Amino acid sequence: MKVFSEDLVAEACKVNNVRDLSTATIGEVLLVAQYLENKTGIPFIRMDQGSPGLPVNRVGVEAEKRALDSGIGSQYPAAAGIKELKEAASEFIKAFVNIEISPRSCIPTTGSVAGSFGSFIGCTQRIPGKNKVLFIDPGFPIQKSQLRILGIEWKEFDIFSFRGGKLRAKLEEEMNDGTIAAIVYSNPNNPSWICLEEEELKIIGELATKYDAVVMEDLAYFCMDYRHHLEHPYKAPFVPTVARYTDNYLLMTSSSKIFSYAGQRVALLCISDKLYEKYYPALAERYHDAGIFGSTLVASILYMITSGCTATTQLGYAEMLRKSCEGEINFVEDTREYAVRAEKMKKIFLAHGFHIVYDRDVTQAVGDGFFFTIGYKGMSGDELMKELMYYGVSSISLSTTGSKQEGIRACTSRMREELYPVLAERMRDFQQDHI
C-alpha cells in the first residue's frame, strides 16, 4: 500500500515547480519530500541529499568562537588563505595521504563546489584548444551544472564496464584528440561508493601526464573507505591517490563530511607544487598577470568568485586538521556510523527484492559508507525513483549522475534508528505491490 497518493505527489511537484520527478535534481526531490512531510506529518525516509547526519565537531566550533572573540572578524582574510590553515593542511595531507604539498599550494575554498568551479576555469583556459573536461562517471551532478554556467564542454563515460586494466583503453579513446584539459572523479565515489584501486589510479596518472590533463580528484569522503584502517596519521595504509602517479593534480578535500562541518562551507584545494609553479602564456595574456597557474587560480579566479573564506572558519578547520594529525581527533571512527547505517539499510532492501547496482570494486565487494546504489527488477532508475516517492522514500535516479546503469542513489546520512522498521514495512509493501 502506498503511503502517498499519486495525486498528492503530483500536487507537491506542481507547487514546487518540479517538471519531471523521475529526473529531478537533488534540490527538487528535497522540496517535494519536505512538502509531503509538512502537509501530512508522515516522515520520509530521506535518502536524497548528502547532508551530514552526525553532530558537528566541537573542536572546530570552540576554535571558531575563540577566533571570533579575538577580533579577527574585522579583517579581510588573505585570498590564498590564513597561514595557520595552510600549514595545517599541508601537514594533514602528509599525515593521511603521505604526499608532500607545500603550505603555499594548499588553498582554502568556500566548499569544494567553489574549488571545482574555479579549477574548471583555470584548467580549461591554460592551453588553447585544450578546453574540455572528462568525467569518469557516475559523479556529482552539480559539477556538470557548473560547466553549463561556464559554457565549457565535457565528455563522460560510466566506469562500470571499464574497471581495472580496461580503463586505459577507454581513457585513451576519450583523450587522444588532445582536447581534454581536466579529468574529474570522486574517490570514494558519489553516488556509487566504488573506490578506484591503485592500478586504476596509476593509469589515470600516466595518461594525465601523457596528454597534459589536470586530474581534479574529489576527496570529499576522505578516509571513509572503512574496509581499510586509514585512521592512523603517518602510518600505512594511506589514502589512495592519483598524486603518486602524476604531477598534474588538484586534490579537493572538505570539512563537510569528515567533521560534519557542512554549514561552515570550507574546503581545501591542494595543488601539486609543480603544477602550481607552472607558467602558461595563455593565462598571462588573459589575466595580465604572471601566468603562474597557482597564483592565477588564487588571485585572478577564486578571489573573484568568493573573495576568500571566512577567517574564523579557516581557523576552526585548521584546529580540526591539527588535532587529527596529533591523534586527538579520530574522524574516521567518528563517521563510521555511516557504514553501520548502510549495512542495515542494504539488508532491508535486499530482503525485499532489490539488488546493489555498483556492487564491486576490481578486487573486492564495494564497501559500506555514505552512499550506496540499488535497483529493482524490471524498473528503470527513473521509474524506481518516482515509484519509491509514493512509499515515502526519497532518492535520486542514477541517470542524473552520468551512470548508464538502472537504479537510484541512496544516502545513509539522515537515517535514524527508529526509521529502520518503518523502512522495512514500506519496502515489504513495495515488494507486494510489484510482484
Structurally, how many domains does the chain consist of?
Answer: 2
* Distance in angstroms (rounded) separating the CA atoms of residues 47 and 346: 12
Residue 228 has pLDDT above 90, yes or no: yes
Q: What is the pLDDT of residue 104?
A: 98
How many of the other CB atoms lie within 10 Å of CB of 55? 9
Does the pTM surpass 0.85? The reply is: yes
- pLDDT grade, residue 24 (50/70/90)? confident
Angle between helix axes 311-325 and 83-97 (nearest 10 degrees) is: 30
Q: Do residues 278 and 404 both lie within one domain?
A: no
The residues, any chain, with a CB within 8 Å of residue 306's CB and separated by 6 or more, are: 109, 110, 114
Q: Do residues 225 and 289 both lie within one domain?
A: yes
Task: List, as one string, the DSSP characters of 241-301.
Answer: -GGGT-S-EEEEEESTTTSS-GGG--EEEEE-HHHHT-B-HHHHHHHSS--BHHHIIIIII
Q: Do residues 120 and 249 both lie within one domain?
A: yes
Q: Which SS3 state, helix, strand or coil, does residue 14 take?
A: helix
Q: What is the pLDDT of residue 26?
A: 86
Mean pLDDT to the nearest integer, 61-83 = 95
Q: What is the pLDDT of residue 22?
A: 84
233 cis-preceded (ω within 30 degrees of 0): no
Residue 435 has pLDDT above 90, yes or no: no
What does pLDDT average to over the chain?
96
Q: Do residues 164 and 185 both lie within one domain?
A: yes
In a domain, 69, yes or no: yes
The residues, any chain, with a CB within 8 Å of residue 213's CB and separated by 6 or more, are: 130, 134, 175, 180, 181, 182, 183, 207, 248
Q: Do residues 320 and 355 both lie within one domain?
A: no
- pLDDT grade, residue 267 (50/70/90)? very high
Domain with 62 in it: what CATH number? 3.40.640.10
Q: Which SS3 state, helix, strand or coil, does residue 336 take?
A: coil
Q: How far is CA 148 from the centre of its chain?
A: 18
281 cis-preceded (ω within 30 degrees of 0): no
In a domain, 183, yes or no: yes
Q: What is the pLDDT of residue 25?
A: 85
Mean pLDDT to the nearest integer, 356-376 = 97
- pLDDT grade, residue 23 (50/70/90)? confident
Which amino acid is residue 363, in one-letter code? T
Q: Do residues 49 and 62 both lie within one domain?
A: no
Residue that finishes a domain, picked among 299, 325, 351? 325
Q: Do residues 156 and 170 both lie within one domain?
A: yes
Residue 261 has pLDDT above 90, yes or no: yes
Mean pLDDT to the nearest integer, 349-373 = 97
Mean pLDDT to the nearest integer, 214-228 = 98
Q: How far is CA 385 from the centre of its chain?
A: 21
Mean pLDDT to the nearest integer, 89-98 = 98
Q: What is the pLDDT of residue 393?
A: 96
Phi, psi of 251 (to 5 degrees): -100, 125
Q: Do residues 288 and 404 both lie within one domain?
A: no
Residue 49 has pLDDT above 90, yes or no: no
Q: What is the pLDDT of residue 179?
A: 98
Q: What is the pLDDT of residue 173?
A: 98
How many of the other CB atoms lie within 10 Å of CB of 386? 22
**Given its phi and psi angles, is residue 211 left (phi above 0), alpha (psi -120 to 50 degrees) or beta?**
alpha
Q: Do residues 304 and 411 both lie within one domain?
A: no
Summarize pLDDT for 139-198 with one digit per residue, the tens: 999 999 999 999 999 999 999 999 999 999 999 999 999 999 999 999 999 999 999 999
- pLDDT grade, residue 123 (50/70/90)? very high
Q: What is the pLDDT of residue 147?
A: 98
State the residue range of the domain holding 137: 58-325
Residue that finishes a domain, picked among 296, 325, 354? 325
Q: What is the pLDDT of residue 161?
A: 97
Residue that finishes a domain, picked among 325, 348, 369? 325
Q: What is the pLDDT of residue 42?
A: 94
Percent of the chain with pLDDT over 90: 96
Q: What is the pLDDT of residue 1?
A: 86
The tally of CA atoms less than 13 A away on the side-chain side of residue 60 is 26
Out of 22-26, 235-239, 296-300, least confident range: 22-26
Q: Do residues 277 and 140 both lie within one domain?
A: yes
Q: Do residues 30 and 93 both lie within one domain?
A: no
Q: What is the pLDDT of residue 70?
A: 95
Mean pLDDT to the nearest integer, 82-94 = 98
Domain with 361 in it: what CATH number? 3.90.1150.100
In a domain, 1, yes or no: no
* Distance in angstroms (rounded) separating the CA atoms of residues 411 and 137: 18
- pLDDT grade, residue 71 (50/70/90)? very high
Distances (CA, A) of 20 to 14, 222, 404, 408, 409: 10, 34, 19, 16, 17
Q: Is the dihedral of CA 96, 98, 102, 107 positive or negative?
A: negative
Q: Do residues 285 and 426 both lie within one domain?
A: no
